[in-house]
Amino acid sequence: MTRLTQADCAALDQSDALREFRSEFIVSPEGVYLDGNSLGLLTHAARDRVRTLVEQEWATDAVQGWHKRDWVNLPERLGARLARLVGAHADEVTVADSTSVNLFKLAVACCRANASGKRRKIVTELGNFPTDLYILQGLTELLGSNLELCAVPREQVLNTIDGDTALVVLTHVHYKSADMFDMPAVTRLAHEHGALILWDLCHSVGALPVDLGGAGADVAVGCGYKYLNGGPGAPAFLYVKRELQQRLQPSITGWMGHANPFEFGDDYRPAADIRRHRSGTPGILGLAALDGSLSVFDRVDMQAVRHKSVRLTELFIELVEQECAGHGLSLVTPRDAAQRGSHVSFQHDNGYEIMRALIARNVVGDFRAPDVVRFGLTPLYTRHVDVWNAVAALREVLETGAWQQADYRIRLAVT
């Protein structure tokens, strides 16, 4: 095998079908940002949309903005655009709250709809993103002794799904390893046993084509601030398939989920559609940033994103193995692209210090306890030459032992 060079990477950038999109983002001219799966970069469109929202709409229209500017329907308008990215119908998605709150709402709703008699298991993966585990632990306690949470190692998940399973909750692409579940196959398995399935799309949406409809998935949640570039703590989204929309009752019955909130009546009556899973007044500033960033995605072919993502992750693995061999890094991420999301992770006993040393060199990836360094490859703004430069910095840090001198204690990022 011939050694890859920086020139090879530059040549790949020349033929990159997505290269025009990089100029949509505000990218630092120095360094390499490989943490778009924790917080996506700012787009010019999001910056402009927030400015307009605050400085023209709020400033000029004040309360009348709710109708004049249709803020009141912004969650569903964004949901309809997001739907294309996850293979859903426009009326199956809305934007609301945080991923954690949406996960709570839909998991509770699924348990109420599908748990009874012996069917009382919730199956999930040990080592799943913590909020998924924590939310399920909390709701099992909240809803009482009829439910049992079965959090099992990844390799046992499929065997644990059985006729006693009410709900399966899985993250499509693992936040640490980038391991990807076969969504159609696992969904089919859950359905064969009469279970409902909730997919967490935090590390999938915007990074690869998702086809909830094709898989027959029941419900899903996902994050606005990673690959969707909606800004720090951006509002999250939720999906409920049409066939379930009447059956699933809302869990947090706030006024914005009412069939007619402006009737101001004393009795709750859920909206007939996806809106029933709204709770409080939608946060319009966060929605505005996401509105802007989605206007970039509106023009993106997700197959092209996947194609480049696979190429970038392959390149990253290949270069690390070429440049950094013998320094104790072990690949955590699957080698088979079909089983991999859009980030690459390595285990190293000194992962924490290594990542801090990289960040001091303007190569920003992420550390995930206890010992994983993680690099997110975001096809809309990561270049092949960025991969080269990041790996060159990693090599320098490892070869010189620079990471040993660093003294970094403060944890740096939020997933």
User: Which long-range contacts link 255-259 to residues 24+ away (Cβ below 8 Å)?
Assistant: 255/280, 256/280, 256/281, 256/282
186 contacts 170 by C-beta, under 8 angstroms: yes
Stretch that binds its own copies, among 14-22, 25-33, 155-163, 310-318 (CB under 8 A): 25-33
Number of Cβ within 10 Å of residue 272's Cβ equals: 10
Q: Which residues are CB-neighbours of 412 under 8 A, at least 6 positions away?
A: 355, 356, 359, 366, 367
286 binds its own copies (CB under 8 A): yes
Can you tell me which residue has the tokens 């787009």? 43
Nearer CB in complex with its own copies: 10/126: 126
Query: Considering only CA atoms, which of 86, 350, 366, 383 is closest in space to residue 239?
Result: 86
135 binds its own copies (CB under 8 A): yes
Q: Residues 318 to 337: which contact its own copies by CB under 8 A? A: none
233 binds its own copies (CB under 8 A): yes
Nearer CB in complex with its own copies: 209/261: 261
In angstroms, the first-to-last Cα distance of the chain is 36
38 binds its own copies (CB under 8 A): yes
Q: Residues 344 to 363: which contact its own copies by CB under 8 A? A: 359
Rg of the chain (C-alpha set): 22
Nearer CB in complex with its own copies: 263/407: 263
CA-to-CA distance for 328 and 334, rounded, in angstroms? 18
* Active site residue ranges: 129, 200, 225-226, 374
Nearer CB in complex with its own copies: 50/169: 50
Q: What are phi and psi of 12, to 5 degrees?
A: -60, -35
Stretch that binds its own copies, among 190-198, 206-214, 287-295, 392-400 (CB under 8 A): 287-295
Q: Residues 43 to 82: which contact its own copies by CB under 8 A? A: 46-47, 50-51, 54-55, 58-60, 62-67, 71-72
Nearest distance from C-beta of residue 19 to its own copies, angstroms: 21
Q: Residues 244 to 263: which contact its own copies by CB under 8 A? A: 250-258, 261-263
Nearest distance from C-beta of residue 72 to its own copies, angstroms: 7
